[in-house]
Amino acid sequence: MTDKDHTPDWIEKAPLKESFRSVFKWGAPDKFKNPSQGFWQVIKQELNLSASDCQTVIKFGEETVQKNTGIAIQAEDIKAFEVIAGFDNLFFDTFSRLKYSSGKSMEDILNLRENEVKNISDIVLHPRNKEDVKKIVSLCHQKKIPVHVYGAGSSVTFGLDCPEGGVTLVMNTHLNKMIAFNETDQTITVEAGMMGPEYEDLLNNAPEKLGAKKRYTGGHFPQSFEFSSVGGWVAALGSGQASSYYGDACDLVISQEYVTPAGSFKTLDYPAAATGPKLNDIMKGSEGCFGVLVAVTMKIFQYMPENTKEFSFMFPDFEKSVNAARQISQAEFGMPSILRMSDFEETDVAMKMYGLEGSILDKFMRFKGLKPGQRCLLMGQADGEKSFSKNVFRQIKKICKKNKGLYLTGYPMKKWRKGRFSDPYMRDALNDCGVLIDTLESSVTWENIHTLYKNVRSYIKQHPDTICMTHASHFYAQGTNLYFIFITRMQAIDEFRTFQRGIIDRIEENSGSLSHHHGVGRMMAPWMEKHLGKEQMDALRAIKNHFDPDGIMNPGGLGL
């Protein structure tokens, strides 16, 4: 730590093997991203950090996970799992069990830094194929052993916790292969554990890798893209950064294959059908509570990056920016693939992060009446066929101009693109200095967006010395989402938990959905019955009870 500028000496050291840090650290072990000088200055100022505050105050979690946690599964069952999946694919050391039962919420990380070992599975299995999964689920059903499914571990909703122990099935070790590619139908069928980058790489390089005529894209790029699986996207209803054009994960799924205690099945492979309620829809978002998603058939799209048109605009205030975004979403010239609308606080931070504050551009904006503390950035890109994306770009310019937006070129998009998948690395660095950072998100209609925004933000800002950056990044004719990023300092996990749960309360009370794309897990579970109402929760319970009469599939997930 350099006293001079109060900038910490960021840790850039791969975590020790089998350490708690290796469990919670984001992404690749040897990759790091520290806050830029600009961003760190904002944090120091807004969080009112003194020199001593900038010293590390919470634990690094460098301790090795001890290997002595008891196992509630009997030896004969362990033997049976070994016979099914093979000796090499069964683990019961505490580190493995902790690793595959941990997600990436702030609370997960705080607990791991404190060397907490709780809610872990008894056994970790890496099934080799669908048949292994069938045998495991069948055995667990017979022996009433809980089954948890781990895609790639990016859950931020305690989706991987195993409060009753049991087994965790790790899908991305072996169940990560392509099953079929159909260029005529523009679909690809993959095992659920295929990771985002492999999936996209196959499609982008389809001529070389699949003998295809054209290049394709999956169109799904969540911030966790590099460390999430295709099955996870579907099971927890994720959304990618380009969802406004390509659709949310649920829109991309043509069919799914499931293994449940009540049997295995593959949903129908039709572009549309009127054969009653669709199992393909009923299973989406079931988060492992009905069964194990083993394979998915997804829509794919032509990969035409040469047609991408980037844009950005600065608006005098949030209301004008919201109006422009709503008009864009309802104007029927097609949607931009990416659209990101920041509130003034996120905009101010972005100006500092991107080194724009105080620049000539900044001065010009101020001259034009676009002032810090008010001005709001809206940016994005159009994709698709060449004239289509050009027209989307042209029409967006028109609408933004009409709403007093100042065109700022595609520059901010280029800045954003650099950090689009790597920003999560910054969290570990900030946490090392005791700066907590977490996010909650919600979907909302246009009608209710300002109420939700104001009331959730004001609750967050009531906490002293707290940054609250808000943006919307998934757009529909009927509304959008709000994504709240809060950065603060707190001494105790309990204090953080109370604060964070308070935000969920405010979201639920102000017409926001409990989640737009993070899923339910065990974090939102306590609110589910209030949010959906008893009748709808009872219906979900009935479906759960059909597929899983003994409640072994992800017990407590979804609040079921």
Question: Looking at 349-357, 362-370, 490-498, 526-534, which segment touches its own copies (CB under 8 A)?
Answer: 526-534
Residue 326 C-beta: closest distance to its own copies, Å:
7
Residue 192 C-beta: closest distance to its own copies, Å:
17
Q: Which helix (H) or strand (E) holds 411?
A: helix 411-419
For its own copies, the binding residues in 334-363 under the rule CB under 8 A are: 334
Residue 540 C-beta: closest distance to its own copies, Å:
6
Binding residue for its own copies (CB under 8 A) from 36, 41, 182, 205? 182
Closest CA to 221 of 202, 193, 194, 249: 249
For its own copies, the binding residues in 18-57 under the rule CB under 8 A are: none
Which neighbouring-strand residues pair with 437?
Answer: 487
* 225 DSSP assignment: G
Residue 24 carries which side chain, given as an amino acid letter?
A: F
For its own copies, the binding residues in 452-511 under the rule CB under 8 A are: 474, 476-481
Question: Looking at 29-37, 85-93, 363-371, 514-522, which segment touches its own copies (CB under 8 A)?
Answer: 514-522
Residue 105 C-beta: closest distance to its own copies, Å:
15
Tokens at residue 91, please?
Answer: 């683990």
Distances in whole angstroms, Cα of residue 163 to Cα of each of 154, 169, 347, 452, 522:
18, 15, 40, 33, 10
Question: What distance in Å separates the CA atoms of residue 330 and residue 448, rounded to the nearest whole number?
Answer: 16
Q: What's the 3-state SS for 17-69? A: CCEHHHHHCCCCCCCCCCCCHHHHHHHHHHCCCCCCCCCCCCCCCCCECCCCC
Nearer of residues 423 and 508 to its own copies, judged by Cβ: 508
- Any contact of residue 210 with its own copies (CB under 8 A)? no
- Any contact of residue 282 with its own copies (CB under 8 A)? yes
Binding residue for its own copies (CB under 8 A) from 281, 319, 495, 509? 281
Answer yes or no: are the C-beta atoms of 103 and 160 closer than 8 Å: yes
For its own copies, the binding residues in 216-275 under the rule CB under 8 A are: 236-239, 248, 254, 260, 262-265, 267-275
Coil, helix or strand at residue 28:
coil
Nearer of residues 55 and 182 to its own copies, judged by Cβ: 182
- Any contact of residue 211 with its own copies (CB under 8 A)? no
Residue 487 C-beta: closest distance to its own copies, Å:
23
Nearer of residues 335 and 413 to its own copies, judged by Cβ: 335
Question: Residue 28: CB partners within 8 Å, gap ≥ 6?
Answer: none
Closest CA to 331 of 411, 395, 255: 395
Question: What distance in Å separates the CA atoms of residue 64 and residue 120, rounded to the nearest whole number?
Answer: 16
Nearer of residues 455 and 513 to its own copies, judged by Cβ: 513
Question: What distance in Å separates the CA atoms of residue 229 and residue 227, rounded to the nearest whole number?
Answer: 7
Question: Looking at 167-175, 339-347, 353-361, 537-545, which segment touches its own copies (CB under 8 A)?
Answer: 537-545
Question: What distance in Å separates the CA atoms of residue 180 and residue 190, rounded to the nearest whole number?
Answer: 7
- Any contact of residue 138 with its own copies (CB under 8 A)? no
Phi-psi region of 7 (alpha: psi -120 to 50; beta: other; left: phi over 0): beta
Residue 161 C-beta: closest distance to its own copies, Å:
17
The 183-202 site mask, x for binding its own copies (CB under 8 A), equals -xxxx---------------
Question: Looking at 92-100, 135-143, 196-204, 444-452, which segment touches its own copies (CB under 8 A)?
Answer: 444-452
Question: Looking at 42-50, 99-107, 121-129, 279-287, which segment touches its own copies (CB under 8 A)?
Answer: 279-287
The 373-402 site mask, x for binding its own copies (CB under 8 A), equals ----------xxx-xx--x--xx-------
The residue length of the chain stands at 560
Question: Residue 280: CB partners within 8 Å, gap ≥ 6?
Answer: 253, 254, 255, 256, 267, 268
